[in-house]
Amino acid sequence: MYIAIAGNIGSGKTTLTETLAARCHAKIYQEDTNNPYLNDFYQDMSRWAFNLQIYFLGSRIKQAVEMLKCNEDLIQDRTVYEDAYIFAANLHQMGLMSSRDFNSYMGIFDIASHLIPSPDLLIYLKASVPTLISQIQRRGRAYEMSIQEEYLARLNDKYENWINNIYKGPLITLDIDKEDFILNPTVIDRVVEQIEALRKTKR
């Protein structure tokens, strides 16, 4: 079974991925946070936007090749769809990625997306900008300290559009403002129950 965790920067994807993997005995595929363009990107977004996104896309394709060989349950921290429909699309809309670069990027994404399996279940972590800011500051990654609230708000808008109008697969939405799975473990219990129910329908 292939479960993917989606959500904005600071929404808690990695923590949920690790928690569910332990509960469901699944293999973890985490997002590559060692992108060599991250620091430069947050200092000069227009200069490094294309480089950043192409690196993430390549990393996601490499990960997908490994996932195709996996014969066990797996949980992925962020999807290739978010790279395209959320982050790259937002950078283009903000004028930080040229149309030429965006079209080249989407051409590669279109090829890759047909080679990558779709999740059996997507868990979307929805969170307000104040919650995202609080959690970003709490984890203290230096390159994230310069992220602007407006940027996070735009990403949230993209996520809502993707979830409500584009994504078509099985979906669980957790509103992190109201369902803090760290402070309230019963949230995890409920998600695990839903995963097990879905797993039974796929046997």
| Residues classed as catalytic | 77
Q: Rounded to the nearest 5°, which phi and psi values hold at 90? A: -65, -45
Q: How far is CA 65 from CA 3, 68, 74, 181, 183, in A?
A: 16, 5, 13, 31, 36
Strands 121-126 and 74-77: unpaired
Proportion of the chain in helix, strand, coil states, percent, rounded to 5: 60, 10, 30
Query: Residue 12 and residue 25: Cα distance in Å, rounded?
Result: 19
* Residues in CB range of 160: below 8 A, 6 or more apart: 126
CA distance from start to end of the chain: 10
H-only helix segments in 33-182:
38-43, 45-68, 80-82, 89-93, 99-113, 129-139, 149-161
Cβ atoms 30, 75 nearer than 8 A: no
